[in-house]
Each structure stands twice: as C-alpha cells, then as structure tokens.
Amino acid sequence: MKQSLIKFTCIAIFCSLLMSCGDKTQYVTIETDYGTMKAELYNTTPIHRDNFMKLIKEGFYDDLLFHRIIDGFMIQGGDPQSREAAPGQRLGTGGPGYTLDAEIGAPHFKGTLAAARTGGASNPDKKSSGSQFYIVDGTPQTDATLDRFQTQKGIQYNESQREKYKTLGGTPMLDQDYTVFGELVSGMDVLDKIAAVQKDASDRPVEDVKMKIRLSK
C-alpha cells in the first residue's frame, strides 16, 4: 500500500512538471540590420511553436532573408533557398521538406507571426509551410470592414479584438485561412522599418534583409 502511494505521488509530480513546462511562455528574438524584434510563441499552437523552436535550435534561419515584403501588409521569410540567393532570384518555394497541420484560430493583428502556405485547391487542409513565416504589418480597420469579414468568413470578433484591429491594425482578410502562432512583444518600430524598404517588382527588397533567430527568455 505504501509503495503504491509513493508510486502514485511520483507520477503525479512528474505529470505536474510536464504540464508546467508545457505552459511556460517561449520567446524568440529576430535579429536584423534594422534592429531586433522579440516575439512570444503561443502555447495554443504547439505544433508550430515546437517546430519553430526546433528549426531555431538547428540554426536553420541564420542568414535567411525576408524575401517578400509588402508595406502595410506583411514581411515574409524562412525560405532556405534565400541564403546567399543571387540578386533578382525568385524566392518563396523552399522549405524543410514537410508541412504542418493547421492550428488556425488567432487573429492577424499587426505584429503577429503566422505560417505561410500554398493556397488554392492543392491545399484544402490549409497546411502550413514547415519553415516560411510572415509578420503582419497591417493597417487600422473599421467596424464596417470587420463586419464584412465576419459575414464572409463566419467569424465573430469580440469587443477586445475589434478594438485592437481598430487601433493597432492588422490584416483580417487572412483570418481563418492561415495559422497565427505568435506575436511581437517588442520591436514594432523595426517591423515598420523593414516594411518600408525599397522593393523590386516581385516585392523582394533591393538590398537583402537578413535574419538571425534565437531562443530567448
């Protein structure tokens, strides 16, 4: 009886430790020549969180480019083909060789991190790229716009979400179609600087915008 009680207690402590580790907030820093952005990864999207952390630990993102930038919309990177890519080279099709199951739910407020993906009929499950991501650089929205997307997409924004979209901004047109898995906690000014760089006709920066991503506290 005593041994059974000890065994049960040990299992309970072990489970408690596992749960506390799972609830721990994970942060990353994204270093660029324009400054450093710090982001929190959502525990509500564990597939994307854990994959992002795995790639960071492997140094996967070191010296990759933000290869597609649209001011007022988003900055996108994470294509391994962008490392040492020639000027004018078309980018955006590379990845680690796998996709991730969608974990769609969080809205696309300005400063959120979301997974890129292929669109159309070839990806009905909205699976995410294994490595490519974007940071939302949206604009302030109106109630009329949010009402329209609610009707089109079957979304119900609460008052807090509406207020955030109206003041901070974002891209609600992407809601329910892409997985948002984190958000900036600092460096919004860096996001603005990167979004404003000169681009070519393919939305690739004329001068490379390289990244280094590290796990942080």
| Interval 28-51: pLDDT, tens | 999 999 999 999 999 999 999 999
Please report, for the chain, the start and end positions of each structural domain, with discontinuous segments joined by +: 25-216
**pLDDT confidence tier of residue 18, bands split at 50, 70 and 90:** very low
* pLDDT tens-place string over residues 149-208: 999 999 999 999 999 999 999 999 999 999 999 999 999 999 999 999 999 999 999 999
pLDDT at 92 > cutoff 50: yes
Three-state secondary structure string covering 7-36: HHHHHHHHHHHHHHHHHCCEEEEEEECCEE
Q: Do 203 and 130 form a contact (C-beta atoms < 8 A)? A: no
Q: How far apart are CA 10 and CA 18, in angstroms?
A: 12
The answer to whether the CB of 112 falls within 8 A of the CB of 97 is no
pLDDT for 15 beyond 80: no
> What is the model's pTM?
0.89
The pLDDT of 51-64, averaged and rounded, is: 98
Q: Are 69 and 76 in contact (CB under 8 A)?
A: yes
For 71, the 3-state DSSP assignment is coil
Quote the pLDDT of residue 22.
55
For 202-216, what is the mean pLDDT?
A: 97
What span, in angstroms and rounded, lies between the C-alpha atoms of 184 and 113? 8
**pLDDT digits 0-9 by tens, 73-87:** 999 999 999 999 999
Report whether pLDDT(6) > 60.
no
pLDDT of 23 reads: 75
According to CATH, what is the number of the domain 25-216? 2.40.100.10
Mean pLDDT of the chain: 91
